[in-house]
Amino acid sequence: MLDEYTTSDVQLGNAIDNGGGQMRIHDYHTASGKNLIKEYLKSLPKTEMYVGYKIRHKLGSQGISALTELDTRQLKGKLWEIKFSQNRIAYVAVDKENIHFLHIFKKQKGKTEKFDLDTAIQRADELGLGT
């Protein structure tokens, strides 16, 4: 159950990312191996970080059907975003078992900034996921 985890669990890194569940979450890593998605989540205020990790857990344990319960929007082609608070996770769901989190950012204007959209598209192309 998602609500079992406290913000202190998330802060300590004890929250389950995908728990071997129905969907594997692939975070974008830099060439040097830095996980930009988790780094961003860890920089958020505790309550927002907790929501971000709850989203990860929900996808990992419930699979692709969890996307229907989340606030999502199509950005372009196969590229979608999950909204939580002012934050957005740009992703591509490759199939029922694999989702790639490509970019995470804070939305500050009425629509997704060109920079953020271009970053997600570039990373999808880099990984051969297309958009």
For residue range 54-69, what is the model confidence (pLDDT) as tens digits? 999 999 999 999 999 9
Question: So where are the chain's domains?
Answer: 18-126
Question: Which of 126, 78, 101 minimizes the C-alpha distance to 24?
Answer: 101
How many other CB atoms are found less than 10 A from the CB of residue 10? 22
pTM, rounded to two decimals: 0.82
* Topology adopted by domain 18-126: YaeB-like fold (3.30.2310)
For residue range 35-91, what is the model confidence (pLDDT) as tens digits? 999 999 999 999 999 999 999 999 999 999 999 999 999 999 999 999 999 999 999
Alpha-carbon span 2 to 82, nearest angstrom:
17
Alpha-carbon span 29 to 38, nearest angstrom:
10
